[in-house]
Structure 1
Amino acid sequence: MTVSDDTLFNSAAELGDLLRQRGQMITTAESCTGGWVAKVLTDRAGSSDYVHSGLVTYSNDAKRGLLGVSETALVEHGAVSEPVVREMVAGALVATGADVAVAISGVAGPGGGSEDKPVGTVWFAWGQSVEDTQCVVRHFDGDRDAVRRQAVQFVLEGVTQFLKET
């Protein structure tokens, strides 16, 4: 599945409008997407009304140091896992004071996959607090760019839906 720049822009604009209406700020904690979610959220003028910050925590050291992800979660589950993205959201909320946080960690390829986490596996989490954090895993097809684009689109839609329901 190809996700166009226009699709990403429109999804980011929808989320941005919702955040602005609610008077909320979002922060991102991104690994495999390398800051792409923060990029599309800030493509629109005035996005400082709703974008607090974006953290690219690609390495495990960054996940530990910037977000407080535990060594236990990384060793026992690996960076691409529910416990890690859940801790990434918690750490991003604490580190930034934003109202909403999203976290993404995955295997975009072309290498790095395994039998239990093949290329295209991406874990997501979003929430306004530790208690309401939602986590979900998806498996995307395509090359590195396609996996990353689909991940960005998925998280924009997921956070928008989450906020509409809260």
Structure 2
Amino acid sequence: MTDHLLPDAIVALAARVIEENRAAGRRIAVAESCTGGLVSAALTEISGCSDVFERGFVTYSNSSKQADLGVPGDIIDTFGAVSIACVYAMARGALERSKADVAVAISGIAGPGGGTDSKPVGTVVFARAVRGQDKPEAESRQFADEGRSAIRQDATMCALELLLP
């Protein structure tokens, strides 16, 4: 039995993220919506993470994405919170509001409600921004609808992988 609340695979990947970013001399930040702080929780499970993990933003509501990360309201109105445009802005905002070298943003539909034909439950978008690079990288993933917890954990794993150097 482990002494942490998160699945072992998530904690192991978080440890790798901390170790490899420490070796690369990079500090990281995360901007989370559908994961609700799971990425930050995974990173802070690792003893000594404070020299790598600069900060985490949990911006679940649209208004918090705007207030805390500077996401323009017209992006949310036009494309929605679960969009490449929104996570681009979230990742940029996390970099601008921190001393991190790299930031990952996550927004999605964890269910069981909230899905649409064009964005079904399990749709999660990610962006990775690196200080000094003009445009963040982004991707959209469709996770199997195996329940809210499973979707959030899958999204956490994906976000952690994006934080590897």
SS at match of 2:163: helix
Q: Which residue of 1 aligns with 2:139?
A: 136
Residue 158 of structure 2 is matched in structure 1 by: 154
Q: Secondary structure at the match of 1:83?
A: helix
Q: CA deviation at 1:72?
A: 1.1
**Secondary structure, counterpart of 1:137 in structure 2:** strand
Candidates 19, 22, 25, aligned match of 1:23:
25
Equivalent residue letter for 1:159 = L
What secondary structure does 1:33 align onto?
coil
TM-superposed deviation, 1:24: 1.2
Structure 2 unaligned runs (5+)?
1-5
**Which residue does the alignment assign to 2:126?**
124
Q: Secondary structure at the match of 1:79?
A: coil
How much has 1:132 moved relative to structure 2? 4.3
| AA at the equivalent of 1:40 | A
Residue from 57, 73, 76 that aligns with 2:75: 73
Pairing of 1:1-150 with structure 2 (within 5 A): 5-129=7-131, 131-141=134-144, 142-150=146-154
Q: Distance in 2 between matches of 1:132 and 1:88?
A: 12
**SS of aligned partner of 1:86:** helix
Preserved contact between residue 28 and residue 163 of structure 2 (Cα < 8 Å):
no
State which drifts further: 149-158 or 60-69: 149-158
Higher helix share: 1
Deviation at 1:98, TM superposition (A): 1.1
Mapped to 2, the partners of 1:29 and 1:122 lie a distance apart of 13
RMSD: 1.1
Over the matched positions of the two proteins, sequence identity in percent amounts to: 44
Mind listing any 5+ residue stretches in structure 1 that lack a counterpart? none
User: Distance between the aligned counterparts of 1:131 and 1:10, measured in 2?
Assistant: 31
| Paired letter, 2:139 | V
TM-score w.r.t. structure 2 length?
A: 0.93
User: Runs of 4+ in structure 1 displaced over 2 angstroms?
Assistant: none
Q: Distance in 1 between matches of 2:51 and 2:153?
A: 24
TM-score, length-scaled by structure 1:
0.92
Contact 2:109 2:115 survives alignment (8 Å) = yes
